[in-house]
Amino acid sequence: MAAHGEKPMTVDITSTGVTVTLTINPPTQKTGRPREASSAAPSVLEPYREYLEARFGDDPHVLGSVLFRELCELCQAEVRSILLDVDAGAAGAGVAPGL
């Protein structure tokens, strides 16, 4: 169990140009019960909740490194799709793609 007053540990993981910051908070109670969720900002993983739940349903022992790689691929696909939509809209407005 974490010592009283221990600070959260933050880890930055970078892969294929995408950086994800993980924060691990120590327990604040000495009872062994998990602490209640705070009303902080929603997790950056919230948009991928359904995917992660399904992935853990398929393989509850999936490695974190595998999930990280898969989420990076999903993010890249989403960004590519957004950029293609922007380029298509710009082309329709007479603007050169990519500007």
Tens of pLDDT along the chain (99 residues)?
445 556 767 767 776 677 777 777 766 666 666 666 666 778 888 888 898 899 989 998 989 899 999 999 988 888 888 888 877 766 665 555 554
Contact 75, 18 (CB under 8 A): yes
**What DSSP character marks residue 63?**
-
CA–CA gap between residue 90 and residue 95 (Å, rounded): 5
Return the domain boundaries, the chain: 43-94
Contact 27, 7 (CB under 8 A): no
pTM for the whole structure: 0.46
Question: Encoding tokens for residue 92?
Answer: 């329709």
